[in-house]
């Protein structure tokens, strides 16, 4: 299939593109920074367009080469979950981009959302729960999905909303937990300061997230909200300890140094049943 990927050089995009290519798809990759894109092995194998997708254009869908599927990952200013620009600026720009794709004839949209759409709720989170976004980022994503859901459709559109949980891997934001840990190990720090570590979360290596997104795209009968998650809660402490073991590091963990963040529930993980029942994948 002809797949358009926005946010191609972002954390998820850079891992998704090689997997799309490996599955035989033709990829048009979009990002603002061509020099960053040239740094990836996949650069030579995609049609790369350097541009700001939010710039108003005549026929956006045509401009991007009439793709069979749009995988829309781009979102500015992450993480900064509490900043108002997520809904004051990003939400509308993103909505208008998607609307113009739909009006141009797009038939299949796969857009990434966030587990924070579930809000301050503990336990196993499944797609049929009403969303209760608790921060401006989650509110913007949740609202975007609702806007797109009420867009009038001239034709039937496959709309997949991939709700991402926690991820780790190469290219991640430098402020995320595992990236900070790797940096501390690489600098030979004796101690790593962290929170109490008892929070239960749902983590996946970013490569597995990319695999699941390709799988989801290849199952267009699986529509609406779909959790992209492991389905298995793990404490942050155990995640960190597993990573230390893998890296054969003996850095000392200063547990309890940071307070638990106030914008996240103590224990939540995704229900993976919808995804696995349709794709057959666990």
Residue closer to a second copy (CB basis): 93 or 255: 93
Rounded to a whole number of angstroms, the minimum distance from the CB of residue 132 to a second copy is 6
Rounded to a whole number of angstroms, the minimum distance from the CB of residue 273 to a second copy is 21
Rounded to a whole number of angstroms, the minimum distance from the CB of residue 120 to a second copy is 12
d(CA 273, CA 282): 9
Residue closer to a second copy (CB basis): 38 or 146: 146
Q: What is the dihedral of CA 8, 13, 15, 16, to 10 degrees?
A: -100
Residue closer to a second copy (CB basis): 41 or 88: 88
Segment holding 275, helix H or strand E: helix 273-279
Residue closer to a second copy (CB basis): 7 or 136: 136
d(CA 165, CA 8): 19
Determine the number of helices (DSSP H) and then strands (DSSP E) in the chain.
10, 15
Neighbours of 23 (CB within 10 A): 14
Rounded to a whole number of angstroms, the minimum distance from the CB of residue 130 to a second copy is 4
Residue closer to a second copy (CB basis): 68 or 83: 83
**Which of 138, 164, 159 lies closest to 13, judged by CA?**
164
Rounded to a whole number of angstroms, the minimum distance from the CB of residue 77 to a second copy is 16
Contacts to a second copy by CB under 8 A: 84, 87, 92, 130-133, 135-136, 139, 143, 146-147, 150-152
């Amino acid at each position: 299939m002809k797949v358009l990927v926005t946010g191609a050089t972002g954390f998820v995009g850079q891992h998704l593109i090689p997997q799309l290519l490996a599955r035989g798809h033709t990829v048009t990759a979009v990002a603002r920074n061509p020099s960053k894109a040239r740094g990836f092995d996949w650069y030579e194998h995609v049609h790369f367009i350097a541009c700001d997708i939010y710039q108003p254009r005549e026929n956006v869908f045509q401009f991007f080469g009439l793709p069979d599927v749009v995988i829309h990952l781009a979102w500015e200013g992450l993480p900064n979950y509490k900043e108002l620009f997520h809904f004051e600026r990003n939400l509308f720009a993103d909505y208008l981009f998607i609307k113009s794709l739909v009006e141009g004839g797009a038939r299949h949209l796969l857009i990434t959302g966030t587990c924070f759409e579930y809000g301050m709720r503990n336990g196993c989170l499944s797609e049929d729960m009403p969303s209760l976004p608790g921060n401006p980022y989650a509110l913007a994503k949740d609202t975007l999905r609702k806007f797109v859901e009420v867009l009038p459709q001239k034709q039937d559109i496959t709309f997949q909303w991939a709700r991402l949980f926690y991820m780790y891997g190469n290219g991640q934001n430098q402020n995320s937990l595992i990236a900070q840990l790797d940096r501390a190990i690489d600098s030979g720090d004796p101690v790593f300061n962290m929170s109490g570590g008892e929070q239960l979360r749902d983590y996946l290596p970013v490569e597995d997230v990319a695999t699941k997104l390709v799988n989801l795209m290849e199952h267009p009968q699986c529509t609406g909200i779909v959790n992209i998650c492991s389905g298995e809660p793990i404490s942050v402490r155990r995640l960190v300890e597993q990573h230390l073991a893998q890296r054969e590091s003996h850095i000392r963990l200063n547990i309890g140094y940071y307070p638990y963040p106030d914008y996240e529930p103590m224990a939540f993980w995704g229900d993976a049943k919808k995804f696995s029942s349709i794709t057959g994948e666990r």
